[in-house]
Amino acid sequence: MFRWGLLLALAVLALDQLTKALIVANITQSTAAGLDIREITPFFNIWHVRNSGIAFSLGNFSDGGRYFIGILAFAVSGFLVYLGTKTSKRLVISAYALIAGGAVGNAFDRLNPGRQTVVDFLDFHIGTFHWPSFNVADMAIVLGVALILTDMLFFAEKQETNSTE
């Protein structure tokens, strides 16, 4: 089972880095001076933006914060790999793998001297309201958290409480 999780985490990392490399190579980074937007549907665009914060562009970190978040992502991923060795539940292992692969993918961006920011490129919108741009790593992290919540709500083993009266 552990191998399954490791393969899934590596697949997420590879897909994340491949898609970001394709975006960087083929779409000009959007700035205040101009936007290079590829409209896919009336509600979905692909573009190249950089995120120096965390999920959904929250925060704007300096170099120290960038290194801290990047190193923290590796530490959390290592802990999730460890937790994955302690369970036989495929759903939970998949959740840990998705989160770890996504966290490491975004950490690579933050710690890459050539980038120093996370590459985001998926843009969903309704009219002029745009959801914050995101990437494959972000999707994996959100899906992993959703799987953990699903396991906790629907599949967690019931613990009996002993009350002494």
Nearest to 51 by CA among 76, 33, 29: 29
pTM: 0.87
Assess whether 109 carries a catalytic annotation.
no
Write down the pLDDT at residue 100: 97
For 3-21, what is each residue's pLDDT tens digit? Answer: 889 999 999 999 999 999 9
Q: Could you please report the per-residue DSSP string of 16-37? A: HHHHHHHHHHHSPBPBTTB---
Choosing from 16, 109, 120, 123, the catalytic residue is: 120
- pLDDT of 55 over the 80 cut: no
Structure tokens at 28: 């000009």
- pLDDT of 67 over the 90 cut: no
For 104-119, what is each residue's pLDDT tens digit? Answer: 999 999 998 887 889 9
Query: For residues 84 and 53, which has the higher predicted lDDT (pLDDT)?
Result: 84
Confidence of residue 143 (pLDDT cuts 50, 70, 90): very high
Confidence of residue 99 (pLDDT cuts 50, 70, 90): very high
Query: For residues 89 and 164, which has the higher predicted lDDT (pLDDT)?
Result: 89
Write down the pLDDT at residue 116: 83
Confidence of residue 57 (pLDDT cuts 50, 70, 90): low
Residue with tokens 């205040």: 32
Choosing from 16, 109, 123, 138, the catalytic residue is: 138
Helix, strand, or coil here: 51? strand
- pLDDT of 80 over the 90 cut: yes
Task: Tell me the percentage of the chain whose pLDDT exceeds 70.
Answer: 87
**Measured distance CA(86)–CA(36) in Å, rounded:** 46
- pLDDT of 60 over the 80 cut: no
What are φ and ψ of residue 53, in 5° steps? -100, -150
Q: How many CB atoms lie within 10 A of CB 21?
A: 11
The domain locations on the chain are 2-127+139-153
Q: How far apart are the first and last CA of the chain?
A: 43
Assess whether 36 carries a catalytic annotation.
no
